[in-house]
Amino acid sequence: MLGPRRGRNRTACSRSTSCAYPGLASGPGGVPVRHVSEPAPRVSMRLPRSPEAPSRARAAVIERFRGRLDEATLFDVALAVSELVNTSVEQPGAGPAGELGVEVGLEDDVVRIAVSDSGARVAPRGPAGSKRLGLLVVDKLAGSWGVTRDHAGRTRVWCELPLEPGRRG
């Protein structure tokens, strides 16, 4: 038999009221069901190092985070991703064709972004007129950012954009 069992006293709960079943809400027929948290949105992708890479990464971020962040924050995140990917594509020394990795995640009160490739050597800061203007943009948007290189020669540029209260969608 589908639905609630007869003869048992079931309490219907809602998120706005106290409930005899903590963490439960009422489902079909008043049967309590457990609240399931939606996982935090993430983007994890590999892209060829090409002129199209920044726009592809930006589009993936906008698609995944629209509705989860307010429009101003979404714009900042998309801009930071675009600039980091573009820096990777344009850097000398990263080899001809190759791939780059893009990781974007919403964690606690920050959006974490990382772009990695196989060998670009990124200077932490460049003069305003240099080709590293994108890193200056990231520096203005991010609460923190940096560059790491692993033992295999992969370069990872990361940043964290703080979320202000109310900046989630």
| pLDDT for residue 14 is more than 50 | no
pTM for this entry:
0.70
Region(s) of the chain under CATH 3.30.565.10: 42-162
pLDDT band at 18 (very low <50, low <70, confident <90, very high): very low
Average pLDDT over residues 63-92: 91
- Beta carbons within 8 Å of 54's beta carbon, 6+ residues apart: 81, 82, 83, 85, 86, 89
> What is the reported pLDDT for 21?
44
Q: Which of 68, 155, 167 is nearest to 118 (CA)?
A: 155
> What is the reported pLDDT for 25?
53
List Cα–Cα distances, 25 to 7, 85, 121, 128, 153, in angstroms. Answer: 20, 43, 53, 55, 51
**How many residues are there in the chain?**
169
Question: Backbone phi, then psi, for 22, in 5-degree steps?
Answer: -55, 135
Q: Which fold has domain 42-162?
A: Heat Shock Protein 90 (3.30.565)
Structure confidence by residue, pLDDT tens digits, 122-149:
554 554 555 567 888 999 999 999 989 8
